[in-house]
Amino acid sequence: MISVKGIHAGYGLVKVLRDVSLDIASGEIVAVLGSNGVGKTTLNNTLSGLITPTAGEIYFEDKLISGRSPADIVDMGLIHVPEGRKLFPNLTVKDNLELGSYRRGKPNRSANFDTVLGIFPRLKDRLMQSAGTLSGGEQQMVAIGRGLMSEPRVLLLDEPSLGLSPLLVEQMFTLIKKINETNLSVILVEQNVVQSLAIADRAYVIEQGTVALSGKADELRENSDLKKSYLGL
């Protein structure tokens, strides 16, 4: 579904990603793991068209998308839920959700809205509340819900557990798995190795801008190098 082939990317003269390759098949959860500052967000921005790779290629359903505009990539169905939620704090929850269907999904806005509230029922009582007054967990629900309003074919989640309490983190990963069960492909970019590997089909570990490890999630859970580097075992 998505194939990343040997991309290099960065910011000006600063090279962040070096020869990164990965694949995401239809219906999978693929985790991209690594500590802060290794290039995960740069990878997200490159996939969504915010950064153009200096080398390599990105294909979405066999169509070359590297170099395409972010708007074009959204229209194709690759939807990026950014780190930090990036809500409009003075708009209501309802308005924030509906903005997700601005470019894609508008004809089915009402049905998609009902679907989002089915996944995140807590938001039903918050619809007319300003998004900036919500808790961190509720804001993350709105951010993911806004992405779902775009009828994604692939949902790119950037650090969805960041800043959440341990209980909310567990709930968030359960909800991500529930979303994936609709056959929606999910790219889960996270620092939380344990929870990510618990729900992912496959995973890639990024270190210093390159892919250091990759494989099936259940196999990586038993990898001694991963345990030593990220779990302290």
Mean pLDDT of the chain: 92
Secondary structure in 3-state letters for 89-143 = CCCEHHHHHHHCCCCCCHHHHHHHHHHHHHHCHHHHHHCCCEHHHCCHHHHHHHH
pTM for this predicted structure: 0.92
Confidence tier at 56 by pLDDT (50, 70, 90): very high
What residues does each domain of the chain span? 1-77+153-233, 86-152
Give me 224's structure tokens.
């001694």
190 CB-near residues (< 8 Å, 6+ apart):
31, 32, 33, 157, 159, 160, 161, 196
- The position carrying tokens 């995401």 is 24
pLDDT tens track for 208-229: 999 999 999 999 988 887 777 7
Helix (H) or strand (E) holding 228, with range, is none
* Measured distance CA(189)–CA(113) in Å, rounded: 25
Q: Which fold has domain 1-77+153-233?
A: Rossmann fold (3.40.50)
